[in-house]
Structure 1
Amino acid sequence: MTLTLAQDAGRLGDAFSSLGPAIVAICAYRALPIAAHTLGWRAVVPAADRPGFGAMLVMRWIGESINTLLPVGQVGGDVARARLMTSGGVRTEAAGAQVAVDFLLGMASQAAFALMGVAALLLSAPGIAASLQVLAGTAILILLAGLLAGLQRKGFFTGLSGVVKRLMGEETASRLARGAADLDREVALLLGQRPRMLAGFGWRLAGWLAHVAESWILLAALGLPATLETALALESLAWAVRSIAFLIPGAIGAQEGGIVAVGLLLGLPAESALALALAKRTREIVVCAPGLLVWLFIERRGIRSLLATERPH
């Protein structure tokens, strides 16, 4: 037993150590998906409120860093993005609505991405048991996206202020209710602009698809079959597991378990699947830790010039 564990640990160590150059590559590559997701958010923001692309890219990076490394339920980064937008001169309600709609488009496009992953898994590893498990998880993600869309259309923030009223009293709730009504109006206005929503959805989906190259790079570095179907299944379903496990800080354990489970369904060796999961966790730390430092620097220095909106001429 001890020998078997030592052999397994040795194989895992060998697999992970072979990924050094690939980890450097996926850390550098990460800028592309972040840029695509930024363009999706940027499509939602009206021209009068829109900072420069570089500023929004930094804000997106900061938001992703907060959601990835801090115990904020994977939404604290979105609150930080809205706060940074207001620091650049955008009205609080407008900034909150823009981030809320971008969050909705992110969930909707991720649900589509997850369905692509299910199709890729069925092509690569057909089997009714695996199919049912994966479809169940994907269905949860789709239901969450649909529920959020319905709530936003019916006045999500106004409804939330009603809950606050029961918890915190009339005076506090009345102040929040006024802001919530304004926020719901801003959300409704944005959702009514279909071309902008379609552009945002398209860019967000492009961002999710860009992530697939990360798994492809790692699979190739491990000497495993790096097909599009395998990389798509691994990447999309790992993200789906991470989103469903939003209450777990950083989805620690859940993300790794999801990658290993999907990897085993695809026929990958256990040590290779685990090495791939650890490589992705390493990439998160390398990319997102500097994002937290940049956020702290901006907050402490009160930098506004970086975040200033581009006024249309």
Structure 2
Amino acid sequence: MKLGALLGVVVLAALVAWMLANEGAVWRILDLVRQAGWIGLTAIVLFHVVQLVFSAEGWRVLLDPATKRPSLFFYMVARWIREAVNNLLPVAQIGGEFVGARLLNRRGAELRASIASAIADLTVELVTQIAFTLVGLAALLLTAGNGPTARLVAILLFAAAAVAAAFVAAQWMGLAHLIEISVMRIGRMIGWKESGEEPALHAALMEIYGAKRRLLRAALNHLISWLLGSVEVWLALRLIGSDVELATALVIESLGQAFKAVGFAVPAALGVQEGGYVIVCGLYGLSPEVAIALSLIKRLREIALGLPALAAWQWLESRPGREKASFPSSRGAS
């Protein structure tokens, strides 16, 4: 966590130094954001809600429909809050998953099912991001050539893919057993009730991973959500006067998200996201000011959606919950 924070500080300091060295850069960035206007920024916020629907459905379908599963609307609320925690609070970019699991548990889903579905959803999201980034890398090599920067991006992509693959493999090898106690300690700190026995988290994960049809549905929903992110970038760039093609927006979003994934330990990827956009946008002749304005528009969208989400989280926490500590063993289930 300290190294991640240091990385974010270094990148952010480099960007600040660049803006100080380039007189008027800050004002040009702010002018670009103002060019988008309130109507444009509102359109960006509303469009992200569409992404939220597909991300929430990708999470929802992972739970066995035979068990007590909250509605899609509640999953949308949980996903909304989960993103707000990851984007706005000083935690690494997976803190929201614990909050999401708690919300499901308070809604009546069994404890280990809630935790396992949050971890499995994160895994599916990582795997589909790799596929999305590979598409973006292929589009980059076709449209921007095979220069040194493109090769650097490819190296970072493979680093992110290796981290994601290790995360998935570790779950199959039993890492879930090692984190059970830590998860439950965190759970007790944020209000989960004790069940009298450790939840069989690894078994619950294997049950989810064994449901191939549900996994495919989850992956499809997350892929659609990633692709919609490219449309959001295309719209934002159009609003600030950059006439780019959808294919270019796909490259910028997919590789920008890959940079963000590499810096997952940095709270809100502060500095890492901006640096990634500067590098990728530069491949298409877009100025650093345009890249930072794009990142700033995304940050404004995160704030506009995130602050109400954090308030909604506190309101939900103040209401009586319907927690279930455990559910019957699934051993032998198909």
Partner of 2:253: 235
Question: Where in structure 1 are there 5+ consecutive unaligned residues?
Answer: 165-174, 306-313
Q: 1:260 aligns with which of 271, 278, 285?
A: 278
The structure 1 residue matched to 2:134, chosen from 89, 96, 115, is: 115
Give the equivalent residue in structure 1 for 2:144: 125
Q: Which residue of 2 aligns with 1:226?
A: 244
Residue 243 of structure 1 aligns with an amino acid whose one-letter code is A
Equivalent in the alignment of 1:100 = 119
SS, match of residue 18 in structure 1: helix
Give distance in 1, aligned partners of 2:31 and 2:280: 21
> Shift in Å at residue 235 of structure 1?
1.0
What's the counterpart of residue 68 of structure 2?
49
* Structure 1 stretches of 4+ moved >4 Å: 161-164
Q: Distance in 1 between matches of 2:174 and 2:24?
A: 57
Give the Å deviation of 1:123.
2.5
- Normalised TM-score (structure 1): 0.87
Match of residue 79 from structure 1: 98
> Against the structure 1 CA distance between its residues 301 and 226, is the aligned structure 2 distance closer, same or farther, given a 3 Å change threshold?
same
Question: What is the CA RMSD across the aligned residues, in angstroms?
Answer: 2.4
Corresponding residue SS for 1:63:
helix
1:209-220 map, 5 Å: 209-220=227-238
Give 1:12 shift. 2.4
Task: Determine the C-alpha separation between the residues in 2 that align with 1:94 and 1:185.
Answer: 10
Q: What are the equivalent positions in structure 2 for 1:1-313 lying under 5 Å apart? A: 5-20=22-37, 21-47=39-65, 48-160=67-179, 179=198, 182-302=200-320
Give the distance between the partners of 2:236 and 2:57, measured in 1 at CA: 26
1:226, distance to aligned residue in structure 2 (A): 2.1
Residue 193 (structure 1) shift: 1.0
Structure 1 residues 90 and 12: CA distance shift in structure 2, 3 A: closer
Cα-to-partner distance string for 1:82-122 (whole Å, 9 max, x where unaligned): 11111122221111111111110010001111111112222
SS at match of 1:271: helix
Q: Deviations over 1:205-242 (max 9, x none)?
A: 11111111111111111222220121101111121111
Higher helix share: 1
Unpaired stretches in structure 2, ≥5 consecutive residues: 1-18, 184-193, 324-334
TM-score with structure 2 setting the length:
0.82
- The one-letter code sitting in structure 2 at the alignment partner of 1:73 is A
Compared CA separation, residues 12 and 89, structure 1 to 2 (3 A): closer
Query: What residue identity is the alignment partner of 2:35?
Result: S
For residues 35 and 240 of structure 1, the distance between their equivalents in structure 2, rounded to whole angstroms, comes to 22
**Aligned-partner Cα distance in 2 for 1:129–1:6:** 29
Report SS of the residue matched to 1:302.
coil
C-alpha distance in structure 2 between counterparts of 1:267 and 1:122, whole Å: 15
Q: Using the alignment, how far apart are the partners of 1:3 and 1:245 within structure 2?
A: 24
The one-letter code sitting in structure 2 at the alignment partner of 1:258 is G
| Preserved contact between residue 93 and residue 179 of structure 1 (Cα < 8 Å) | no
1:187-214: CA deviation from partner (whole Å, max 9, x where unpaired): 1111111111111111111111111111
2:328 corresponds to = none
Whole-Å Cα distance in 2 between the matches of residues 105 and 4 of structure 1? 42
